[in-house]
Amino acid sequence: MKIMIMTDMEGCAGILNFKDWVTPEGRYYEKGKRFLTAETNAAIDGFFAGGATEVVILDGHGHGGIDPELLDERALLRRGHSEKVWPWGMDKSFSALACVGQHAKAGTPYSHLTHTQNCGVIDYRVNGLSIGEYGQLALCAMELGIPCILACGEKAFTKEAEELTPGVLTVAVKEGLLPDDGFRDCTTEAYENAKLSAIHLSPGKVVKMIRETAFKAIEKLKKSPNAFHFPKLSPPYRREVEFRASSERKTQPYSKSVEHPDSIIELMNIPW
* Site residues (vs Zn ion, CB under 5 A): 8, 133
Q: What is the identity of the amino acid at 76?
A: L
Question: 159, 169 in Cβ contact below 8 A?
Answer: no
User: Considering beta carbons, is residue 8 or 192 the nearer one to Zn ion?
Assistant: 8
Q: Is cis: bond before 235, omega within 30 of 0?
A: no
Nearer to Zn ion, 53 or 118 (CB): 118
Smallest separation, CB 103 to Zn ion (Å): 6
What is the nearest approach in angstroms of Zn ion to the Cβ of residue 10? 6
Whether the Cβ atoms of residue 157 and residue 111 lie closer than 8 Å to each other: yes
Could you tell me the smallest distance in angstroms from the CB atom of residue 193 to Zn ion?
17
Distance CA 155, CA 160 (A): 9
Phi-psi region of 98 (alpha: psi -120 to 50; beta: other; left: phi over 0): beta
Nearer to Zn ion, 121 or 221 (CB): 121
Nearer to Zn ion, 103 or 220 (CB): 103
Task: Count other Cβ atoms within 10 Å, centred on residue 95.
Answer: 20
Q: Give the shortest CB-8-to-Zn ion separation in angstroms.
A: 4
The DSSP code for 125 is E
